[in-house]
Homo-oligomer: A and B are copies of this chain.
């Protein structure tokens, strides 16, 4: 799993900082999460192949998370895209994009499919044989979802030497990987656990931005591998966090600790701060495994 941060700063695009957008590579998918103004330029800068983006997840309709979407959709058209594009986002997103395409007389030449969200409960919005994506209802000033990306458990690992020792025919190896007991060439029943090891534990990534501090999400995030949690403010500005429905670095650390995640990535920094280092230091007073997002940074999860 690889996460590329295209932008991780709050509010407005600036000369050297971009609003929220990131790309998650997971099991051959390239999922784009949020799409602030300038995202298409950041995709180019980070050499991400436009045609590989087939699913876009939009957390909410504040501009710093979605104003780049219509431009990206239009550029896909200019690039003669043919494959489907799926957009998951709050109710209303289809109307915004459709109106602009209509008034510019620029309908897409590829299938553009909207999956509008309005549920306030977690729901699985994408699933195939390797990955699932579920919403994480967040508390912000407008309807907002985080997204939880989970790998599905892989096949069990074949212990090739043991399988050979037990005289198992090669044609049965796939059955063994799928967890089945098999019959050896000697006619004996070989219990699966004798010739396999458990698969690698499936990884998971949760994107939670924007949100006020909300312990209500901890249960859903329990034991996930990596949590990206917004930290617009430091504790010194905690009084701003509640009314604007944002979080502090310490609060993000608290969610990470209580959910027992493996790693916390902080992002959505207010540009009022001269340095983002204090965000890490503050979160680490609560939870040790903290990293800072930054534009152009790549995390191998």
Taking beta carbons and an 8 Å cutoff, which residues of A are in contact with B? Answer: 11-15, 37-38, 40-41, 44-45, 61-63, 67-68, 70-71, 74-75, 78, 90, 92-93, 95-96, 99-100, 103-106, 141-142
Q: In the complex, which residue of chain B has the Cβ closest to the Cβ of A12? A: B75
| Known A-B contacts A103-B61, A106-B62; A15 and B37 likewise in contact (beta carbons under 8 Å) | no
CB pair B78–A15 under 8 Å, yes or no, is: no
Residues of B within 8 A of A141 (CB): 105
CA distance A144 to B38 in the complex (A): 25
What is the CB-to-nearest-CB distance from A226 to chain B, in angstroms, rounded to a whole number?
A: 28
Cα of A92 to Cα of B100 in the assembled complex, Å:
9
**CB-based nearest B residue for A76:** B12
Interface centre among A12, A68, A99 (most CB of B within 10 A): A12
A-B contact pairs, 10 of them (CB 8 A): A11-B78, A13-B71, A37-B71, A38-B41, A63-B100, A67-B70, A67-B71, A90-B103, A95-B99, A104-B142
Once bound together, how far apart are the Cα atoms of A104 and B142, in whole Å?
A: 7
CB distance from A208 to the nearest CB of B (A): 19
Cα distance A103–B75 in the bound complex, in angstroms: 24
| Alpha-carbon distance A14/B43, docked complex (angstroms) | 10
A104 near B71 with CB under 8 A, answer no
A104 CB contact (under 8 Å) in B44, B62, B100: B62
Q: Which B residue's beta carbon lies closest to that of A38? A: B38
B142 touches A105 (CB 8 A): yes
Contact B142 A63 (CB under 8 A): no
Given contacts A11-B78, A12-B78, A96-B99, contact A37 B105 (CB under 8 A): no
Complex: how many Å from CA A14 to CA B103? 23
Contact indicator A71/B12 (Cβ below 8 Å)? yes
Identity of the chain B residue whose Cβ is nearest the Cβ of A45 in the assembled complex: B15
Taken together as a complex, chains A and B put the C-alpha atoms of A61 and B105 apart, in Å, by 9
